[in-house]
Structure 1
Amino acid sequence: MTELATLLAKDAIRDLAARYMRGQDRLDRSLQLSTFWPDSTTDYGIFTGSGPEFVDFAQDLLKAHLANQHIIGQHLIDYDPDRPDVAFGEVYYYAFHRIVEEGAPYDMLICGRYLDRYERRGDEWRFAHRTELVDWARKDAASDGFLATDLSACVLGRHDMQDRSYDREWLENA
C-alpha cells in the first residue's frame, strides 16, 4: 500500500473502533452490528462466538446497566505488506459501567485491550476477529450523588439512543 492508502486505512479502522464503542454505549444495536463482518469471530472470555452473536449478547447485558462509557486509548495498527486488505490491531480501553447490586448503585471499571483482525472487503473495513483482554478491574459504591445537588444544572448524557448526540436537528440549530 502507498503511504497515503495506509493513512486512509488507519483512519477508517480508528473510526470503526469509535463506532463500535458508540454502539455499545448508546445501545445502538444496528451501529454496533455494522462494525462486524457477518462471518466474524469473537472471544471476550465471558462470550465466544460470532460478531453478530456478540452484539446481541452485549446489547442485552448492557440494558440492565444505568450507564456505560468506553474510552479508547492508544491504537496500534499493523499491516502485512503482502495482504493489503488485512490489518491487525491492539486498542487500549477504559470501560465504566454503572450497575445496581442489591438496590444500590455501584461503579465498575474494567480496563484492558482489544486484539483485532480487520479485513477490508470492497471499500469497507470491519472486524474479522475481536478478542478482549482484561488487565485490571475494580468495583466501588457510586459516589456521584452531588450531581443531583451541586451540579443539578448539568445536561446529563443518556444510556440509549435518546442521548443528545443523536439529535442532529438540535445541534444544527444550537
Structure 2
Amino acid sequence: MDTRINDDYSAERVADRLAIQDVMFRWCRAVDRLDFSAIKEVFHPDAIDDHGIYSGNVEGLVAWIRQRHEKIPFSMHQVSNMLIEFASPDSALAETYIWSVQRYSADGKASLAQLSGGAEGKPGGESDMFGAHRYIDRFERRDGLWKIIHRTVVMGWRTIVDVDPNGPQMLPQWTVARRDQEDFVFAERQRLGIR
C-alpha cells in the first residue's frame, strides 16, 4: 500500500496545502494593490525571483515592481490549477496557473514592452495586456511559516488590446479599485480590526 498518498492528504498536509495556497492569494493582492511590505512577506528573506526580465533577490523584485508598475493604473492576477507536491516535511513545489490583466497608460508603454517582447500597442493610447503563465515556486517552511524560497515565472501566452477611448467609463458612485493602501479592502480590514 502506498502510504505517501495518505500522508499527502493527512490533516497536517491539508493544513500545509491551505497555508501555501494562502501565500499565493496574498501575493496576488500584494502585487495588485502595490503593497510592497506584503510582497516581501510571501518570500523568505533569502529568496530569489526570476520573472525573466528581472531575476534576483526580493528587495530587487520590489524595486523592479515599484518602477515597472508606476504607469499601470489597473492590475489583476488570478490563480487556478495549483498543484502542490511535497519534497520533505518542510519543502514543497507548487505549480500555479496565473491569468493576469494589466492596463498600461499612454506614457507607460516602456513597462508594457518589458513583458511583451517589445510590443507596445497603438501609440498615444492606453493598452491592456492579458497573459496566461505559470509560477513554479519552491516553498520552505521555516519557524512554522510556509514562504517562497525560489520563484520562476514560466511565460505562456500574451496579447495586447488597445483601449477604445470611447469605451466604458467608471461612474462616480462606483467603488473603484485602487493600486494603493486606499483601496476599499484596506478600509474594510481596518473596520474589522484585521491587521
Compute the TM-score of the two structures, normalised by the length of structure 1.
Answer: 0.89
Measure how far apart 1:42 and its partner are.
1.7
Which residue of structure 2 aligns with residue 116 of structure 1?
A: 137
In structure 2, which of residues 71, 93, 97 is the aligned counterpart of residue 92 of structure 1? 97
Measure how far apart 1:147 and its partner are.
2.5
Which residue of structure 1 aligns with residue 124 of structure 2?
A: 103
Mapped pair 1:141 → 2:159: no
Measure how far apart 1:57 and its partner are.
1.0
Q: How many matched pairs?
A: 168
Change (3 A) 1:122 1:112: same
Measure how far apart 1:116 and its partner are.
0.6
Which segment drifts farther, 28-37 or 98-107? 98-107
Alignment of 1:125-136 (within 5 A): 125-136=146-157
Measure how far apart 1:29 and its partner are.
0.2
Measure how far apart 1:109 and its partner are.
1.0
Which residue of structure 2 aligns with residue 14 of structure 1?
A: 21
**Tell me, what secondary structure is at the counterpart of 1:104?**
coil
Which segment drifts farther, 5-14 or 162-171? 162-171
Measure how far apart 1:171 and its partner are.
5.5
Measure how far apart 1:51 and its partner are.
2.6
CA contact (8 A) 2:52 2:153 kept: yes
Q: Decide which structure has greater strand share.
A: 1
Mapped pair 1:29 → 2:36: yes
CA contact (8 A) 1:111 1:134 kept: yes
Q: Which runs of 5+ in 2 are unaligned?
A: 1-6, 107-122
In structure 2, which of residues 19, 39, 51 is the aligned counterpart of residue 44 of structure 1? 51
Measure how far apart 1:72 and its partner are.
0.8
Structure 1 vs Structure 2 CA RMSD? 1.9
Could you give the per-residue CA deviations for residues 54-90 of structure 1, whole angstroms, max 9, x where no partner exists? Answer: 122112211221111111111100012xx20000010
Compute the TM-score of the two structures, normalised by the length of structure 2.
Answer: 0.80
Q: Distance in 2 between matches of 1:8 and 1:164?
A: 29
Q: Which runs of 5+ in 1 are unaligned?
A: none
Q: Distance in 1 between matches of 2:173 and 2:38?
A: 31
